Amino acid sequence: MRYPAAIHADVRIRQQASIMDIAPTLLELTGAPPLPAAMGRSLVPLLQTAAQPWKDREAICELQVPANLIHKFALREPARKFIYDLNRQSCLVFDLAADPGEQAPLSEDKS
């Protein structure tokens, strides 16, 4: 995210964030009131001070590409990621601290 009026060009957030955090962040940056039912959190405190206290939350995502028969769900916690492949009916688990590039799954469960 780049917004020279409020964010330095070299800022990088290391904490876990979600796409749900984008709207609250943009609203705060523009001075607009927050959405009352928004589930995300503004990332502005992290963008302004990297050492800001931040409680990581789980993030859920879905990837679906029907033309390639891809349909996956993922749950990402701060220390682990679980990926369920709906088509193959298999689950991969990654230790993100030991394997941040997700190259060596801890387990592969064929349900």
Tens of pLDDT, residues 27-69: 999 999 999 988 899 999 888 876 677 787 888 888 999 888 8
Q: Give the confidence band of 71 by pLDDT, cuts at 50, 70, 90.
A: very high
CA dihedral 28, 52, 57, 101 (to 10 degrees): 110
> What pTM was computed for the model?
0.69
Q: Give the confidence band of 110 by pLDDT, cuts at 50, 70, 90.
A: low
Count of alpha carbons within 13 angstroms of residue 101, beta-carbon side = 2
On average, the pLDDT of the chain sits at 87
Lowest mean pLDDT: which of 9-23, 26-40, 50-64, 77-91?
50-64
Report which of 51, 41, 56, 45 is spatially closest to residue 7, judged by C-alpha positions: 45
